[in-house]
Amino acid sequence: MTAIATVTKTASDTATDIGEIRAIARVLQIYIDGARSGSGDAMRPAFHRDATVFGYVGDDLFAGPIEQLFAWNDANGPAPDLVASIARVDRAGTVATVRVELENWTGYRFTDLFTLLRVGGEWTIMNKVFHLHA
């Protein structure tokens, strides 16, 4: 399933803006595909090497280097029934925030908030903050 970005157009939108939003969505699709496959290595290209992750699993803070997410994804295994959508993209020049809704990630439901930065001409995820729905 391909994620779809919801974008609110303004009078200042240009073809370049839409192209940038599509490029951002492609990066998030790498993450989503990695979640579906259950492979941390598959999602790794979406993230900057120094990226971080933060969120709660129950009362426990899940926080630190993004490698923790990759390890969790490997241990969690494939999620072939994952339904994911890019709910919102907000971009200003070389920075962007993205909200992703994930249903049935092996029984879990998440809301992810990402910050991205254009590094070396390419969009990359710098941070993931998540909410695990009860």
- In the chain, what are the domain boundaries? 15-132
How confident is the model over 109-127, as pLDDT tens digits? Answer: 999 999 999 999 999 999 9
CA-CA distance, 107 to 90, in Å (whole number)? 29
In the structure encoding, which two tokens stand for residue 113, read together?
């908030």
pLDDT score of 36 more than 80: yes
Q: Is residue 77 a contact partner of residue 71, using CB atoms and an 8 Å limit?
A: no
| CATH classification code of 15-132 | 3.10.450.50
CA-CA distance, 113 to 28, in Å (whole number)? 11
What mean pLDDT do residues 8-16 have? 53
pLDDT score of 9 more than 60: no
How confident is the model over 68-90, as pLDDT tens digits? Answer: 999 999 999 999 999 999 999 99
Strands 95-105 and 60-65: unpaired
Q: Residue 13: which pLDDT band, with cuts at 50, 70 and 90?
A: low
